[in-house]
Amino acid sequence: MKLYQPFRTAFLATLGVGLGILLISSVQTLSTILLYIGTALFLSLGLEPVVSFLERRRLPRWAAVLLTILAVLALFAGIVLMVLPILIGQVSDLVQEITRYFQAGTFIDDVKNWVHTVFPGLSDSSMNDALTNVQNWLLANWGSITGGLINAGLAFFSGLTGAVIVLVLTIYFTASTPSLKAAVYSMVPSSKRSRFVDLSEQITDSVGYYVMGQVALGVVNGVLSAIYLSIIQAPFPAVLAVVAFFFSLIPLVGTLTGSAIIVLTCLIPGLGSPATALAAGIYYLLYMQLEAYVLSPRIMNRAVSVPGAVVVIAALAGGSLLGLLGALVAIPIAASILILFRQVLIPRQNEL
């Protein structure tokens, strides 16, 4: 071996490692942008069945896309106009109420009466000590709490900006889906293109039907929640119905998490009551059984054919890797892998 070869090998290896580190750091830097793009692609595939349905009703492609986009924009605007004013008003009222409580000096008495109503067996001495400690802690950390509320508000508006970006990208991807597919298909050799197109269409259809299935479950949960929460006079039934809708989009734990948030909201002093929270808790226990054993099998079995164990494993793995987006896309990805497994790998093994 000549002397210069080890140095050249080491130099090339170092250069390769440096490029790899640069690529990884670039992906980390662009993680938010990639998350927006991935979410928009996922949603655009979910809107494709709606566009295809309208096309089958003899509408031209541009009209079907336009109607779908207008419906999405109307839904997005309706949710924002419904939630944002109430949220801003209630945060302002909450800050004013807390300030009034502290200035009037009746905070401990009001909380004590509420705790006595919920837990009548607690003694006054232990309750006084606990409430005094809580009040002292709140007074000592009021500046940090206010700063946390400000940061939460900034995070909310940042999330709203991200939602607008995702919405714009979704509109673009939905309008250009055929051209994007054609560009991808043209990169495949002509001898294998028909098979590739067939598998790709099955995979994109499974993703689209899965998204529509989750949205259907969310709509059912949101509508029923709005009706029932209005009947039991829960606080902000429209906002809580939107919460139920969005959390229903998360597989496995979404409905449970959203239901817990709604029940806890019904326990807030001055807004709800223990009886309201109990009624909401009983309803959501019954609804989760209805969703698990009636609604979800009927809706999702038509969308994606994935065994239950694979659904659980895929959702847990996706959530661990990519958070909320990973949990959302894990099940259609699992369905896509099963399609490739059943239609590519198994026939190829049978030919050997």
Please check the confidence at residue 1 and state whether its pLDDT lies above 60: no
For the segment 95-107, what is each residue's pLDDT rounded down to a tens digit? Answer: 666 666 556 555 5
The tally of domains found in the chain comes to 2
Please check the confidence at residue 54 and state whether its pLDDT lies above 70: yes
Distance (Å, whole) CA 327 – CA 139: 40
Is the residue at 12 inside a domain? no
Average pLDDT, the chain: 76
Please check the confidence at residue 43 and state whether its pLDDT lies above 60: yes
Please check the confidence at residue 174 and state whether its pLDDT lies above 80: yes
Q: Report the pLDDT value the prediction gives residue 5, as an integer from 0 to 100.
A: 67
Could you tell me the pLDDT band of residue 192, with boundaries at 50, 70 and 90?
confident
Q: What is the 3-state secondary structure (H, E, C) of 262-289?
A: HHHHCCCCCCCCHHHHHHHHHHHHHHHH
More confident site: 213 or 252: 213
Same domain, 66 and 79: yes
Q: How many residues does the chain have?
A: 352
Same domain, 88 and 66: yes
Could you give the dihedral angle defined by the CA atoms of residues 220, 223, 229 and 230, in that order, rounded to the nearest 10 degrees?
-160
Is the residue at 134 inside a domain? yes
Q: Report the pLDDT value the prediction gives residue 209, as an integer from 0 to 100.
A: 79
Q: Report the pLDDT value the prediction gives residue 53, as an integer from 0 to 100.
A: 83
Same domain, 70 and 207: no
- Among the listed residues 335, 305, 339, 333, the one whose alpha carbon sits nearest the alpha carbon of residue 321: 333
Could you tell me the pLDDT band of residue 152, with boundaries at 50, 70 and 90?
low
- Provide mean pLDDT across the span 147-157: 64
- Among the listed residues 272, 338, 283, 286, the one whose alpha carbon sits nearest the alpha carbon of residue 311: 338
Same domain, 326 and 350: yes
Is the residue at 27 inside a domain? no
Please check the confidence at residue 126 and state whether its pLDDT lies above 80: no
DSSP 176-213: THHHHHHHHHHTS-HHHHHHHHHHHHHHHHHHHHHHHH
Helix axes 177-186 and 31-56, enclosed angle (nearest 10)? 110
Please check the confidence at residue 268 and state whether its pLDDT lies above 60: yes
Please check the confidence at residue 236 and state whether its pLDDT lies above 60: yes
Same domain, 345 and 199: yes
Compute the half-sphere exposure of residue 5: CA atoms within 13 Å on the CB side of its CA. Answer: 2
Could you tell me the pLDDT band of residue 83, with boundaries at 50, 70 and 90?
low
The CA distances from residue 344 to 236, 307, 349, in Å, are 51, 19, 9
Please check the confidence at residue 222 and state whether its pLDDT lies above 80: yes
Is the residue at 177 inside a domain? yes
Is the residue at 24 inside a domain? no
Distance (Å, whole) CA 109 – CA 115: 10
Question: Which residues have CB under 8 Å from 304's CB, separation 6+?
Answer: 206, 209, 210, 213, 331, 332, 335
Same domain, 212 and 269: yes
Same domain, 172 and 272: no
> Of 187, 212, 232, at which residue does a domain stop?
187
- Provide mean pLDDT across the span 105-125: 63
- Indicate the DSSP class of residue 106: -
Domain that includes residue 45, residue range: 32-187
